[in-house]
Amino acid sequence: MSSAVPSWKDLATRYNAAWNAHDVPAIMAFHVDDTSYQRHGIPKVYRGKEAVAEQFAKDISGLPGIHFEPVALYGSDDHFVSESIITATTANGEPVRMELVDVITLRDGKVVSKSSYFVTSRPPRDKAAA
């Protein structure tokens, strides 16, 4: 009897919780050995668990108190797309608010690649001015 592969939605929820816990070993437990990570707008692609874990640790430590607020989650057995609002502070204490879309590909219930798209959040529109 083969072990059951977790559903993409359950996996995505647990993966996002590991990010909010700032727990790089827990995050990496979801990744395959030949995983990759790319932050779009930056040409470098991080390849392999060690390089990806190192970059994730830098990303987390560079934004103290980083928190991912889920907005939407879509997917299937081989991928999921997670939309979030990121709040944090910079190392010098300035507040950060960004919109994030992560496109995650999966193989056998593990993360093969993570492609992250960030934009600075726009201020809320004044409905009276619209």
**Segment-wise mean pLDDT, segments of 10 residues, the chain, 130 residues:** 68 96 98 97 95 96 92 94 94 90 96 94 58
Q: Are 37 and 113 in contact (CB under 8 A)?
A: yes
Query: What pLDDT sits at residue 64?
Result: 84
Separation between Cα atoms, residue 127 and residue 29, nearest integer Å:
44
Query: What pLDDT sits at residue 1?
Result: 45
Query: What pLDDT sits at residue 39?
Result: 93
Separation between Cα atoms, residue 87 and residue 94, nearest integer Å:
11
Write down the residue that tokens 């990744």 correspond to: 31
User: Does the domain at residues 8-120 carry the CATH identifier 3.40.50.300?
Assistant: no
Query: What pLDDT sits at residue 32?
Result: 98
Helix (H, G, I), strand (E, B) or coil at 88: strand
State the chain's mean pLDDT as an integer: 90
Scanning 3-48, the segments in alpha helix (DSSP H) are: 8-20, 24-28
